[in-house]
A and B are shown apart, each in its own frame.
Chain A
Amino acid sequence: MADKVKKTAAKKAVPRKAAAPQARRAAKSGVRVAVSAAADGKRRVAVCAGTACVFAGSFKVHDAFVEAVAAAGLSDKVDVVIVGCHGLCSQGPLAVIAGEETYYPRLKPADAARIVHEHLGAGTVVEDLLYVDPQSGEKIACWHDIPFYKQQTRIALRDVGVIHPERIDEYIARGGYEAARAVVSKKKPEWVIDEVLASGIRGRGGAGFPTGLKWRFAHASPGDEKYVICNGDEGDPGAFMDASIMDGDPHAVIEGMIIGSFAIGAHHGYIYVRAEYPLAVKRLRIAIAQAEERGYLGDNVFGSPWSFHLKIKEGAGAFVCGEETALIASIEGKRGMPRSRPPFPAVSGLWGKPTNINNVETFANIPWIIANGAKAYAALGTEKSRGTKAFSLAGKIVNGGLAEVPIGSTIRQMVYGVGGGIKDGREFKAVQLGGPSGGCVPAALIDTPIDYESLAATGAIMGSGGMVVVDDTTCMVDLARYFLDFTQKESCGKCVPCRLGTKRMLEILEGIVAGEGQDGDIERLETLAQTIKTTSLCGLGQTAPNPVLTTIRYFRDEYEAHIYQGACPALACTALIAYSIDVDNCTGCTLCAKKCPVDCITGEKKQLHVIGQAECIRCDTCREVCRFDAVDVLTGQAAQDLIGTPR
């Protein structure tokens, strides 16, 4: 921080120098950006290009903006750019007019021309396109004032959704690479490790091991050939924090890795990216090439004696590769199977050399910690869990998206504060944390603080940050079955408890949801779960029973209803439900009969319709299309009576 003067100078000098090659590269790679690199003095329209926004059509919106800007003759005054995930995915595609930070959600390509003419041209905010707060009904122009964003503290996500992820100068302009430069030029590895240790940051991949301690072990390992690896194999279904960081701010990950490499003494590094994240791979490739060109990667980084070479390795679709020893095997070109530890990777890792592995989010935090000091980071969070954590909020929630909050925020703050409550005014039932390794925390524990220890006490885990909210339409037994189906398929098969145990647990759960549950199934699940937890080789098996154990702990009545009453209280398990048409509400409009894919609904026009129970496949189409709320779903005895009735 002492070299502020020099850095400021560098900040100003660099963009101009680099503008030309960057624009060329952007043009060559077919990137959807206006090919003007320097945005100085220009207005800026930032269109979110996170996965959800892209799927919702943000590139079409982007192109419409570019067209509208050109048509209005504003091309030299307005820069239309893409940015990484802006966070509030449920409002996508969205765009922000930078500077004043006006927020336009749920855009259609046709809206672009209006915004360009009215807002950028005439200078009036397009009122009817603004975000409307669902709680107050008020229009909010600036995104910082929207409750979803207001309640966040963004450190790992500091640049995500703000900078153009393919422009290194935008990262540098926000203080990027200053921390790495300062570290390699004038600090000792021991200082870096002490600083990271003092920040209290723990591994954000899920296990929560103190990062500084991990670095100290790897640093202390003898040998001059060491490796640093970034684990970007984010495989939990319902989690997309790491993807958003790699897509939206790849340089933060690279800078964190440079600092880590210096601290532990590794001259070579790998970023292992999940196969399903082609955009992350593309952005990281561009970012690495830019960093190499500037001399931030390679030999003598930042003109110092330090060298660090970074490569990308793409995964090939195996959840278990998120486990560090499996990940190492995968980089070595083998089947990604874990091995027993010790020796820990810090002693013997990639190619048998000392190796340090951290998660994407962990690395993204490091530059901030170095630049702002360990104290600033440690001031956030709780005593044992310092700092912030990024979560992907999904499921039956109003504000689905990416959010970063201080650790220790409660589930209530996440669900009702940041998340804006449950969709369609339904009832909050539970939140699933940590994906297949995690558990379900019920509504009764809504004031539980989100930190490593408090969550472990509930039977769930902090995990990597997936947070899926479910309402009363979700069957908890089926949710447990869903996760076991996942872990059972993803089990690598090396150790018996995981390979066979998860299979047996899945079979029992499948029986229960199919209405074939037996007395004693719950106890059998509990016994198997304990055995698998205590005897599996790696984290996958050790945590696989968590979704089952937590749902039994908090929703045992649902298991019992399935087994003993043949009922699914959430009306979700198709084997235990039946559809019936309500005598009073049915108007005989014939719509359900027309839409039924198996033609099992009969009835004349304007007469009561009837569902043929023997043919019905319980696809829910009739209930979905009925405009008169005339299709009832029954379960338990009522359903059995109905199906048993001779037609």
Chain B
Amino acid sequence: MPRRVTRSKPIEPAAGDGLDLSPVREVVDELDPRSNLIAVLQRVQERIGYLPEPVIDELARLSGVPASRLYGIITFYAQFTTEPTGKHRIQVCHGTACHVAGATRLTEALEQELGVDDGGTTADMSFTLGSVACMGACSLAPVMRIDSETFGNLTPDGTRKAMRGVLKELGLDPAELRVAAGDEDGPDG
């Protein structure tokens, strides 16, 4: 199977919709996309935060790898996202030890507190609620992390308390989380 992808015709630079696409070129200049494609995507996502269509198009244009192939890779790996994520990341561990210790109930408690489904982002873009397969901190099960802060041995009530504590620390009003700046989809929970 030929690995090299030939560029058929020059493609116009992607429009970008107000996104700064310059990190794409910087990453491509640094790493050869042909032998480091996944690393290139990781770096670009690190810089821009997510991989929306204009970013994919720009990367396709610069690397010669078809956008369809890039899209295939992006949707295959859990690490990549085509949607913007919230300012703060909540990760609830759903490893086996956390599952048997009641992780499902933690996620449910957070869904209620934040008004989003698992995997969703609050309307005000402040929090993204997510699950991870295993953090490797099984002795603290069930575990959740909000950014780099860890909460272990949680109960549903403890989870709510922790979440409210974080909101308070950040000076956020729970009601405001549900108010969108420019409501696109809105929370469907």
Contact = CB atoms under 8 A, between A and B. Distances in A.
Interface in B77-96: 77-80, 94-96
Interface string A605-621: 00000000000010111
Contacts of B134: 236-240, 276
A315 B78 CA distance: 10
18 contacts: A52-B138, A55-B135, A55-B140, A56-B150, A89-B138, A314-B38, A316-B38, A316-B42, A317-B78, A335-B77, A336-B77, A392-B138, A401-B139, A479-B99, A479-B100, A483-B96, A595-B157, A620-B156
Contacts of B77: 275, 315-318, 335-336
A335 B80 CA distance: 12
Interface residues of A, number: 57
Interface stretch (B14-22, B52-60, B101-109, B175-183): B101-109
Max count, chain A CB within 10 A of own CB: residue among B39, B79, B99, B138? B138
B76 A52 contact: no
A238 B99 CA distance: 10
Interface string B33-51: 1111111011000000000
A503 B34 CA distance: 34
Interface stretch (A3-11, A155-163, A181-189, A466-474): A466-474
Nearest to A279: B136
Contact of A240 (B102, B112, B138): B138
Interface of A: 51-52, 55-56, 89-90, 92, 235-240, 243-244, 275-276, 313-319, 330, 332-337, 392, 394-396, 400-401, 432, 435, 466, 468, 470, 473-474, 479, 482-483, 486, 492, 595, 597, 617, 619-621, 624-625
Interface string B155-183: 11100100000000000000000000000
Contact of A316 (B41, B133, B156): B41
B152 interface: yes
B157 to A, nearest CB: 5
B97 interface: yes
B11 interface: no
B140 A625 contact: no
A372 B39 CA distance: 39
Contact of A394 (B41, B105, B138, B156): B138
Nearest to A598: B112
Contacts of A244: 136
Q: Which 8 A-B pairs have the closest CB atoms?
A: A333-B37, A394-B138, A317-B78, A240-B136, A316-B77, A238-B96, A89-B139, A237-B95
Contact of B96 (A395, A473, A621): A395
A624 B142 CA distance: 15
Central interface residue in A56, A244, A316, A482, by most chain B CB within 10 Å: A316
Contact size range, B: 35 or more
Nearest to B91: A276
B79 A51 contact: no
A90 B139 contact: yes
A238 B35 contact: no
A55 B79 contact: no
A159 B147 CA distance: 31
Given A315-B38, A335-B77, A619-B108, 6 more contacts: A240-B136, A318-B76, A319-B133, A333-B37, A392-B138, A620-B105
B189 interface: no
Given A316-B42, A317-B77, A597-B109, A394 B133 contact: no
B139 A400 contact: yes
Contacts of B73: 333-335
A300 B138 CA distance: 42
A619 B113 CA distance: 13
Given A238-B134, A316-B41, A318-B76, A597 B139 contact: no
**Residue from the set A89, A394, A474 with the largest chain B CB neighbour count within 10 Å:** A394
A259 to B, nearest CB: 27
Contacts of B138: 52, 89, 238, 240, 392, 394-395, 400, 468
B129 interface: no
A470 B100 contact: yes
Interface in B136-155: 136-141, 143, 145, 150, 152, 155
B38 A394 contact: no
Contacts of B102: 620
A474 B100 contact: yes
Contact of B152 (A56, A318, A401, A473): A56
Contact of B137 (A89, A317, A319, A625): A89
